[in-house]
Amino acid sequence: MKRNENFQAGRANRYSTRDRSSRDVYGNTKPAAALTRAPLRDVGRTNTAVKQIPRGHARPITKPQDRIFSMLGLRGPIPNYDDVNQYDPLRKAEYARDIFSCMLDKEESHILSERFVEDCRGISSKERSTLLNWLVALHTRLAIPTESLWLMVSYLDHYIARKGSIRPEHLLHTGVACLLLADKWEQQRPGILDEVIPTLKASSDSFRTPCRCRQGPPRLDRGHKVPFCGKCTSRVVEAIERNVWEVMGHDMNVPTAVVFMRRYAVVGEVSDLVRYTGFYLSELCFQEPALAKYRPSRLAAACLSLA
């Protein structure tokens, strides 16, 4: 009995002298602190080291990011927030730096002139604003993600700048074609043309496509208006969609400001109010064609800094 009491007392003293943080909830010994805090250059050389960068590890920012983050009031090395999500297969944290570096290099080739609308025949700045208001309402009605909205505006502006002329009666169909392309690129709800046709039917008569299902001149109804034909309208939208695909050079991966906005919001650790205010300010930039001359990364930084 006394021997058992002495054994338990010695065992209690032994565990009391140890660091309790060195054991987990199951009583197993945790790895040494020196292994988990190994420098980045020694992680690949040691087999026993945990291949993980500590959460507080900071990395020096690159030159283009330095100018962008300085607008947000961030100074010094930026913490590497991608290491927190390195075990999340949906985040793909190991590719995050390369993806955003590629976007920063690619956005320079997608900068447009501030007079790209005036240089295009068949459309004015007021008509573009009216078209965008109608497309935003259609985007909200169909519950399409925000990324598709930004891509739609980018496709429409690039098509206007590179095409040089647009037929006024096909202006609405061009916006719908850009919306369909953006939705297909995001792979959210492909094949929503059947849901858009009733909206086109209720639109203005000036955007109605003459029916070509039968030979001869277009038929008119009793009000001397062109009757709506869903089949011919679908053909026109699909033809313009292929034309936008060709004008874009089959390169639909256009950097948008919403991608950089979310990145800056995570790095800057801003509140929800600041983040959503920045999104609101960035969406107001749709109506200003003159802002197309700025890079999306700079535009996102300016909106978030103003928010």
Domain spans in the chain, listed from the N-terminal domain onward: 20-52, 59-112+256-307, 122-254
- In this predicted structure, what is the pLDDT of residue 209? 60
Do 236 and 169 contact (CB within 8 A), yes or no? no
Its pTM stands at: 0.68
User: Which class is domain 122-254?
Assistant: mainly alpha
Q: Which of 13-27, 111-125, 226-240 has the highest mean pLDDT?
A: 111-125
Q: What value does the mean pLDDT take over residues 201-206?
A: 61
Cα gap 229→258, rounded to integer Å: 37
Cα gap 197→209, rounded to integer Å: 12
**Would you call 17 helix, strand, or coil by DSSP?**
helix
- In this predicted structure, what is the pLDDT of residue 40? 40
**Would you call 122 helix, strand, or coil by DSSP?**
coil
Question: Where do we find the tokens 């039917």?
Answer: 201
- In this predicted structure, what is the pLDDT of residue 205? 54
Closest CA to 190 of 174, 179, 201: 179
pLDDT greater at residue 202 or residue 119: 119
Closest CA to 248 of 192, 149, 294, 181: 181
In terms of phi and psi (left: phi > 0; alpha: psi -120 to 50; beta: otherwise), the region of 220 is beta
Q: What value does the mean pLDDT take over residues 73-88?
A: 63
What pLDDT band is residue 155 in, cutting at 50, 70 and 90? very high
Q: Report pLDDT digits (tens) over 8-33.
A: 555 545 444 444 444 544 444 544 44
Cα gap 124→271, rounded to integer Å: 38
